[in-house]
Amino acid sequence: MCLIPLWQWVLGFFKRTLSPVTLAGQPGEHSSTFFEPTGSTDGPERARDQIASTYRAAIARNQRQHEDAVTRRRKWYAYAIGFLLALVAWFFMSFRSHLLPQWVVFLPAFATLVAFVLARKSDRLIRDSAKLFGFYRRRLQRLEHEWMGKGDPGLDLEVPGHLSACDLDMFGEGSLFELLCDVQTPAGRDTLAHWLQTPAPPDVVLSRQQAVRYLRDRVDLREKLEILRADDAASEYSWNRLRDWFVESPVRFPRWTAWAGLLLSLSMISVGICGWKEAIEPHTTLLVLAIICTAQGVLALFLRRRVRSILAGLQLRARRFESMRKLCQLVEGEAMEGPLLGSLRVRLRGSSKLVFQLQRLLQLIELRNNEYLFWPLVLLLWRTQWVMRVERWRQRHGPELLQYLAVLGEFEALSAIAAHAYENPSDPYAELVSDGPLFEAVGMGHPLMDVRTCVPNDLTLNAETRFLLVTGSNMSGKSTLLRAAGLNTTLALTGAPVRATRLRLSPLQVCASIRVDDSLLNGRSHFYAEVERLKAMLDCAASSPAVLFLIDELFGGTNSADRRVAAEVVIRLLIERRAIGLVTSHDLALTEIPNKIELKGTNVHFTDVPTAEGLSFDFHLRAGKVDHSNALKIIKMMGIPLK
């Protein structure tokens, strides 16, 4: 009778403490997420400070949940140890002292099992809350313009010799890629980098814009992605090695080897059973088993090199595919709008089941590593047979999984752009027009600058104004204007929102000559490197539909007379090839070039205002050419005496 109150206490205890810690973004049960999907509403109805406040609340919430989960885990492990000690005591009292009925032992055994399960669940909640804490902290850093140098610079993804990537700071610390990239799979990185360096045709841009509009407010979906792709197993996982493995040259096994391995294994089992049942004489059983083992050894040695090459190239574990399978499941099961997102779902159809098949095959190979099963499985040629099965599976399904990885990369890239769009609600999407060349921006700013301090400018390049010659004093914003135009064009033709009040443009290929470096190793001076870049720009203008050229300090490495002649020749050739663009220079002799009516150019300038402290810049673009310089003032400000 004394057991009844004890049993009632155990039930009451579990009833009070079984309620789980709820975390936003928990895989498989996301109903408690901090953010609920709000659809794809347009317009800048959310202010950046409101989004920042929401992110701070999410950070605090996940921090509290992390602390609660840690406390709960300690409690459950303590209970598990207590129940385990009770199990030992009750076992002794039941089976040795016979003070309690034997069935009573199941009570502390069940309680111990439940306590360990709940402790493990708390472990998962601790990991999830830590991941979401880091996720919102990264997003908040972007909102507060503290992201530079803390993300992925993507320098390994820059295409060598690209005509604008280096000049426009697409890659590197404080780059456009670092700002946008919040993906962790190489497929997502590769896709985003490819989109930034390759302008998409208008129909593709429009489909990406529609997908980004839908994904923009889906913070809950980005939480799920963070939970899945940031798994510890996935972080150790070599996605690049996986992609290489999918397309490696096939390892050929003679067709008879699979049947021989299966026959020898079945023979081993059959003879063993017959010997155990004494259906065969013991010495006969041993002789037959020895013959089978010898045949297995010969077959294993014959296939050894092939099997080892596959295992060396594989080096994977089945659990590491869990992240990929869940990512496929997430995209497959998400009801998403738009043709692009719909096509991604269709292209991923059946992917999770296929990945699960590979998981099962790898799990079967890993069984041989079990210390209790090692020798029995060795006698059955276990690993050799399943390695051959995996190789056949790879040859059949490897290209399919490679396509699935590419689709996941596209989805990650779209999600990263959508997160940027969500955090910049006042940034619109560009309007694409077929008649061009055209670049018409109102209130355009630099996408990498803090929106709170960025000074916007209007810029128009069309059939009437083919190029602008930008003059101005040092540090006044000439190079920044060029990069702002180039980066906004890149964002527009990627399908991302732009830093402007309004942007209309035709399909353009951005070509820049802003950051041109000399090379002692290659024997190139700065002037020669600039001429090489301009030649590549002219070739691109001759082959591409339309080019937006951005040239900083045109022919700054030569004398004024040669510069004047060469600059006009280059600009004329670009205009004849239907290009539009901007050219900056400190040489006021070049301001005569826009006066040539057939070139359809215009002079614009930046200026500075002397103050008691030194110089002040308003960074506003003005019509006409600059009427003064500030080089000597800056030299004096730096303490260099001028006599």
**pLDDT tens-digit map of 86-128:** 877 777 777 666 666 767 777 878 888 888 888 888 888 998 8
For residue 601, what are the β-bridge partners?
467
Q: DSSP readout, 273-339?
A: HHHHTTSS-HHHHHHHHHHHHHHHHHHHHHHHHHHHHHHHHH---GGGGHHHHHHHHHHHH----SH
Are residues 287 and 270 part of one domain?
yes
Both 267 and 395 in one domain: the answer is: yes
Instruction: Say if residue 533 is in the same domain as residue 606.
Output: yes
Cβ-contact 381, 265 below 8 angstroms: yes
DSSP string spanning 159-183? PTT-SSTTTTT-SSTT-HHHHH---
User: For residue range 501-551, what is the model confidence (pLDDT) as tens digits?
Assistant: 999 999 999 999 998 876 666 667 778 888 899 999 999 999 878 999 999
The reply to whether 411 and 556 lie within a common domain is: no
Residue 34, domain member (yes or no): no
218 in a structural domain: no
Going by C-alpha positions, the residue among 484, 475, 495 that lies closest to residue 617 is 475
- Total domains present in the chain: 3
Can you give the pLDDT at residue 318?
Answer: 58
User: Quick one: pLDDT band at residue 313, thresholds 50, 70, 90?
Assistant: low
Which of 386, 405, 423 marks a domain boundary? Answer: 423
Question: Can you give the CATH number for the domain in which 487 is found?
Answer: 3.40.50.300
pLDDT beyond 60 at 3: no
pLDDT at 519: 66
Per DSSP (E only), the strands in 467-607 are 467-472, 502-505, 509-513, 547-551, 580-584, 601-606
- 404 and 436 in a single domain? The answer is no
Domain termination site, one of 143, 170, 195: 143
The H or E element that residue 118 is part of is helix 106-143
Share of the chain above pLDDT 90, in %: 41
Residue 590 to residue 568: CA distance in whole angstroms: 8
pLDDT band at 312 (very low <50, low <70, confident <90, very high): confident
- CA angle, residues 515, 521, 523, in degrees to nearest 5: 80
Query: Does residue 202 form part of some domain?
Result: no
Identify the domain boundary among 143, 177, 200.
143
Tell me the C-alpha to C-alpha distance, in Å, between residue 118 and each of 80, 88, 111, 122. Answer: 10, 21, 11, 6
Q: 187 lies in a domain?
A: no
In our burial notation (b when 16+ CB lie closer than 10 A, e otherwise), range 272-297 reads beebeeeebeeeebeebbeebeebbe
In this structure, are 500 and 593 located in the same domain? yes
304/250 same-domain check: yes
Residue 577 forms part of a structural domain: yes
505 and 547 part of one domain: yes
574 vs 48, higher pLDDT = 574
Query: Tens digit of pLDDT for each residue in 451-479?
Result: 888 999 999 999 999 999 999 877 788 99
Cα radius of gyration rounded to whole Å, the chain: 34
SS (H, E, C) 607-620: CEEECCCCEEECCC
Confidence at residue 639, expressed as pLDDT on a 0 to 100 scale = 65
| DSSP annotation string for 227-255 | HHHT-HHHHT--HHHHHHHHTSPPPP--H
CA atoms within 13 A on the CB side of 254: 8
Give the domain range for residue 242.
233-423
How far is it, in rounded angstroms, from Cα 413 to Cα 410? 5
Query: Is 213 strand, coil or helix?
Result: helix
Residue among 142, 173, 168 at smallest CA distance from 155? 173
Assess if residue 222 is contained within a domain: no
In a domain, 473, yes or no: yes
| Per-residue pLDDT, 613 | 64
SS3 assignment, position 28: coil
Residue type, 530: E
Q: 367 and 311: one domain?
A: yes
d(CA 503, CA 205): 14
Verify that 240 and 305 share a domain, yes or no. yes
Q: Are residues 435 and 419 in the same domain?
A: no
Q: What is the mean pLDDT of residues 609-613?
A: 65
Contact at 8 Å (CB) between 459 and 444?
A: yes
Looking at the structure, do residues 388 and 475 belong to the same domain, yes or no? Answer: no
How far apart CA 389 and CA 392 sit, in angstroms, is 5
Any domain includes 152: no
